[in-house]
């Protein structure tokens, strides 16, 4: 994660203001605005067709936005071709040159920038050291493993100190175990050299592991941008709540009471006290969605309802070592998942029995409308 000193010296690396891209009737990007800070690792996450690649291509200069403005380091990028943008790129297939050695591959962007051979080799070797492959300088890409090739590609993307490095599905070609290792390695290397990174992925875990902030895309729109923690604790839409981490989404009706506001469904009730600022956005008679994270729900004896509680029937009880997972069927047939480390009390509960669920008002998110 970015440390405080890092944030203080950081300025704005890139700014998107109302960027849209139309392909005939398709809005590949719809009025996207956000700022990227220097030294930040931002991941664009979203389902297929949500606009991640289009954003990456617009930043790289391969496509021009239909409207809006994109600036890098304060410079308007309208009409600036890719080769005139100081951007490094790493693709999922690495795109290393097979006829060049590892050292020559890394030095290639320096060569195209007119850097002399001795300086090129010195800087390429320094980068090879940073990615831990100094012993492989004379090898050819085909003599390297997938993970090693990826580190060479990363070194090539970083060697000329680009303003921004773009990573396009960087782990897609790696198996699951190597992917986990490389996520951590790429994160460390890019932070070590102070790179500003924009990465694209479908993989929620990868986004959570590597990013300072995550931008969540849906249908060409930026749904929400924030730190992994913010997105998990304060999702602003059902989509984001469901996309980041595991969530129970309970839909119910809003009712104003003497004490505050409740949202109620069949067999459950969530209550916010009058002093809670969230009450202001909730209007009696409207629908709302209550987001409950599985680890924030407590299993209690049935019939001990409070202001923030529900009741249902245990459908599955699964022991996972450090915790139990319970699947509880609610009155309307919907299911609630909970995870509990209170192994002793859950062990006594049986599938088919009624169980109470309780939570505290601070641990829920209420999405109105």
Ligand X SMILES: Nc1ncnc2c1ncn2[C@@H]1O[C@H](COP(=O)(O)OP(=O)(O)OP(=O)(O)O)[C@@H](O)[C@H]1O
Is 273:361 a contact under the CB 8 Å cutoff? yes
- The verdict on 196 binding ligand X (CB under 6 A) reads no
Q: Which is nearer to ligand X, 26 or 347 (CB)?
A: 26
Q: Six-digit token pair at 246?
A: 């595991």
Q: Is 66 in the site for ligand X (CB under 6 A)?
A: no
Binding of ligand X at residue 271 (CB under 6 A)? no
- Other C-beta atoms lying within 10 Å of the C-beta of residue 289: 19
| One residue of 54, 150, 262, 337 binding ligand X per CB under 6 A | 54
DSSP state for residue 363 in the 8-state scheme: G
Q: Bridge-partner residues for 311, per DSSP?
A: 356
Nearer to ligand X, 8 or 48 (CB): 48
Cα–chain center distance at 277: 27
- Residue 28 binds ligand X, judged by CB under 6 A: yes
- Which residue lies nearer to ligand X by CB, 47 or 74? 47
Q: Strand, coil or helix: what is 204?
A: helix
Residue 315 CB neighbours (<10 A): 13
Residue with smaller CB distance to ligand X, 29 or 136: 29
Distance of CA 148 to the CA centre of its chain: 25
Query: Candidates 22-30, 90-98, 277-285, 308-316 — which segment interacts with ligand X by CB under 6 A?
Result: 22-30
Helix ranges (H only) for the chain are 4-9, 52-60, 102-112, 117-130, 146-158, 176-192, 204-210, 228-233, 238-243, 343-347
Any contact of residue 147 with ligand X (CB under 6 A)? no
Looking at the Cβ atoms of 46 and 141, the one nearer to ligand X is 46
Asked if residue 51 binds ligand X (CB under 6 A), the reply is yes
Strand order in the sheet with 26-37: 26-37, 12-23, 67-72, 75-76
| Min dist. Cβ of residue 51 to ligand X (A) | 4
What minimum distance in Å lies between the beta carbon of 47 and ligand X?
7
The residues facing 261 across adjacent strands are 256, 272
Residues of this chain, 30-49, that bind ligand X according to CB under 6 A? 46, 48-49
Stretch that binds ligand X, among 52-60, 240-248, 257-265, 303-311 (CB under 6 A): 52-60
Provide the minimum distance between the beta carbon of 25 and ligand X in the complex, in angstroms, as a whole number.
10
Closer of 66 and 340 to ligand X (Cβ): 66
| 293 vs 50: CA distance, rounded Å | 25
**Closer residue to ligand X, CB minimum distance, 165 or 326:** 165
Distance of closest approach, residue 204 Cβ to ligand X, in angstroms: 13
Shortest CB 53 distance to ligand X, Å: 3
Separation CA 301–CA 163 (nearest Å): 58
Q: Please report, in angstroms and rounded to a whole number, the separation of the first and last CA atoms in the chain.
A: 34
Q: Is 53 in the site for ligand X (CB under 6 A)?
A: yes
Q: Does 202 bind ligand X (CB under 6 A)?
A: yes
Task: Please identify which residue in 26, 184, 320, 343 interacts with ligand X, judged by CB under 6 A.
Answer: 26
Region of residue 303 (left: phi > 0; alpha: psi -120 to 50; beta: else): left
320 lies in the binding site for ligand X (CB under 6 A): no
Q: In angstroms, rounded to a whole number, what is the distance separating the alpha carbons of residues 97 and 361?
A: 57
> Which residues from 107-126 bind ligand X, rule CB under 6 A?
none
Q: How far is the CB of 269 from ligand X (least distance, A)?
A: 38
Closer residue to ligand X (CB): 202 or 298? 202
Contacts of 83 (CB under 8 A, 6+ apart): none
Number of residues that bind ligand X (CB under 6 A): 12
Whether the Cβ atoms of residue 292 and residue 274 lie closer than 8 Å to each other: no
Tally of CB atoms within 10 A around 286: 13
Does 50 participate in binding ligand X (rule CB under 6 A)?
Answer: yes
Q: Does 25 bind ligand X (CB under 6 A)?
A: no
Q: Which residues bind ligand X (CB under 6 A)?
A: 23, 26, 28, 46, 48-54, 202
């Amino acid at each position: 994660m970015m440390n405080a000193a890092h944030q203080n010296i950081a300025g704005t690396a890139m700014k998107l203001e109302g960027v849209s891209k139309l392909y005939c009737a398709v809005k590949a990007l719809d009025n996207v605005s956000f700022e990227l800070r220097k030294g930040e690792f931002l991941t664009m996450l979203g389902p297929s067709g949500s606009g991640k690649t289009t954003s990456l291509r617009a930043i790289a200069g391969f496509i021009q936005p239909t409207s809006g403005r994109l600036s890098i380091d304060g410079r308007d990028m309208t009409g600036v071709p890719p080769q005139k943008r100081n951007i490094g790129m790493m693709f999922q297939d690495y795109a290393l040159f097979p006829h060049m050695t590892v050292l020559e591959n890394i030095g290639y962007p320096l060569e195209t920038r007119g850097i002399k051979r001795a300086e090129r080799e010195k800087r390429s070797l320094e980068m090879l050291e940073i990615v831990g492959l100094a012993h492989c300088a004379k090898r050819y890409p085909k003599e390297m493993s997938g993970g090693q090739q990826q580190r060479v590609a990363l070194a090539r993307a970083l060697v000329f100190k680009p303003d921004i490095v773009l990573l396009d599905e960087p782990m897609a070609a790696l198996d699951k175990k190597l992917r986990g290792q490389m996520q951590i390695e790429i994160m460390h290397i890019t932070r070590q050299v102070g790179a500003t990174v924009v990465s694209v992925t479908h993989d929620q875990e990868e986004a959570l592991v590597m990013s300072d902030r995550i931008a969540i895309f849906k249908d060409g729109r930026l749904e929400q941008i924030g730190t992994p923690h913010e997105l998990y604790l304060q999702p602003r839409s059902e989509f984001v709540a469901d996309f980041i981490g595991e969530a129970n989404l309970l839909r119910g009706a809003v009712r104003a009471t003497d004490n505050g506001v409740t949202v109620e469904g069949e067999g459950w009730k969530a209550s916010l006290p009058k002093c809670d600022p969230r009450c202001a956005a909730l209007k009696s008679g409207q629908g709302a969605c209550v987001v409950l994270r599985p680890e924030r729900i407590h299993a209690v004896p049935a019939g001990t309802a409070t202001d923030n509680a529900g009741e249902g029937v245990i459908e599955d009880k699964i022991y996972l070592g450090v915790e139990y997972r319970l699947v509880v069927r609610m009155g309307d047939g919907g299911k609630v998942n909970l995870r509990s480390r209170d192994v002793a009390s859950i062990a006594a509960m049986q599938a088919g029995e009624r169980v109470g669920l309780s939570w505290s008002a601070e641990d829920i998110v209420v999405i109105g409308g």
